Amino acid sequence: MLKRLIPLFVLLFLFACEKQDRYAYEYLYNHLPFEMPKVHPPVFPSRKVSITQYGGVGDGIQLNTQAFADAMVDLSGKGGGTLLVPSGIWHTGPIVFRSNINLHLEKGALILFTTDKDAYPVIETSYEGITAYRCQSPLSGRNLENIAITGEGSINGSGEAWRPLKRDKVTERHWRQVTGSGGILKTPDVWWPFENAGYIRPVMVSLIECKNVLLQGVLFENSANWDIHPLMCENLIVDGIFARNPAYAQNGDGIDIESCKNVIVVNSIFDVGDDAICLKSGKDAEGRRRARPTENVIVDNCKVFKGHGGFVVGSEMSGGVRNVSVTNCQFLGTDVGLRFKSMRGRGGVVENIYADRINMFDIITDSFLFDLYYGGKSASESLEDGDITPEEETIPAVTDETPLFRNIYVTNLVSRNARRALFFNGLPEMNISNIHLENAYITAEYGAELSESQDIILHNLTVIPEKGPALLLNNVKNTHVTHFHSSAQAAVVQVTGTRNENIELPEEMK
């Protein structure tokens, strides 16, 4: 009997080992439309220490800046491991990461960054794609390997002590409470907490030139500026985080992935005051000189609530963005769903973007947007201000400052209750090109509008507008529409402009 059981034990042991060694993100690579190396989470030594061993006190009062600094230095000096943050409120100044450390927040743990501005010295860093001098980030790391922030706790950047506030973004009661607390009215409708707040406030999590990074499970909230900013990082996994900022938070982005390579963002929730999941690569001449694209990015199973855009590329994309897959995402009440933005002067190439199974509800402006006339405003602000595309008296020449968007494929998109179904607004000197939209069902106040675009394929597209035509074409070239469905009350299609070429429409649309 024993002899018969031994092989069974061996098989069970081998199965358990195989299951343990199985790559957790294998499913993301099935049918991936571009080559990308597998990104593995960093591995840490088994050594574990608690912040309490370094004098940390989680009473919400004591400042734990020195405790975190001592723990990072000591743990890193011993070869690394896990720094445990137990349940409690851990009030602290800036935390500077070291290599080979997993900062693990246990259930009930809250890292609360101090509102004392003197704790954050002004340093040289990068912001919005260019070199800048700003206050040190609450949580930062530079030129590191094997780092992680994990667990079930929260990190709060005390952003209300830093952020400007616009009157039209909050209730009148909120406005009176904030302006009555002190600070400065820069204009009758813009309040700053202190004189230079708008210029020096830092991103909350700044990781520069780091390799093998994991962010998992933690709530990142209330940042002074962008919530999470990986810059020139390689092998980054973001899994199951919640990035949260008030809807009125100025520059309150969720995550801005800039000039990074080999990135996975999955199973995460964003509810923020600006763009949610955003890809960047430097701004204008400095970004072109850096010449480091954001490339090889997988985004899957993410939800976005408030935010200027659900999935966004730009506007700082001067180093290029390429090889990106976005699947199984929901955008629920965002300003824009899929948002691509840039302007003359940027340069850079955005290409090989694939989005599939994207579902949206209550989109304030456009379900799917290309805006090559981006002027720094959110889409909803531009709508309120009545911004329109300028009339071109002369068309500029194409230079290295001309941005290029091409080879973008979107399939299986459903959007209910948007303002406008689509808006493709390219440049006359450099049309957005080779854009494929297939199997889409969109209900909106207005239909789909394509301008200065070429090599466009629309296949099996249903657009049901409340007003006007379902499809507006203006100065488009090589545009092919097949199996287009609509119940528009007006004419289904409207064609304007003097630079249209080779538009192919199904017979029922003519």
Residue positions annotated with a catalytic role: 274, 308
Structure-derived torsion over alpha carbons of residues 189, 190, 193, 196, reported in degrees to the nearest 10? -150
Does residue 459 contact residue 483 with C-beta atoms inside 8 Å? yes
Phi first, then psi, for residue 288 (nearest 5°) are -70, -35
Beta partners for 280? 258
Query: Could you tell me which of 157, 151, 87 has the C-alpha nearest to residue 119?
Result: 157
Could you tell me where the DSSP H helices lie in 263-390?
284-290, 379-385
Q: Which element (helix H / strand E) includes 13? A: helix 2-21
Reduced DSSP (H G I as helix, E B as strand, rest coil) percent helix, strand, coil of the chain, to 5: 15, 45, 40
Q: Tell me the three state secondary structure of residue 293.
A: coil
How many other C-beta atoms lie within 10 A of the C-beta of residue 472? 22
Phi first, then psi, for residue 9 (nearest 5°) are -60, -40
Cα–Cα distance for residue pair 27/25, rounded to 1 Å: 5
Does residue 72 contact residue 102 with C-beta atoms inside 8 Å? no
| Beta-sheet pairing, 432-465 with 471-485 | parallel
Write out the DSSP string of 313-335: E-SSBTT-EEEEEEEEEEEES-S
Rounded to whole angstroms, the maximal C-alpha distance in the chain is: 91
Helix/strand number for the chain, H first, E second: 6, 36
Cα–Cα distance for residue pair 124/101, rounded to 1 Å: 25
Q: Tell me the three state secondary structure of residue 226.
A: coil
Q: How long, in residues, is the chain? A: 510
- In a 13 Å sphere around the CA of 418, the CA atoms on its Cβ side amount to 32
Cα–Cα distance for residue pair 111/212, rounded to 1 Å: 23
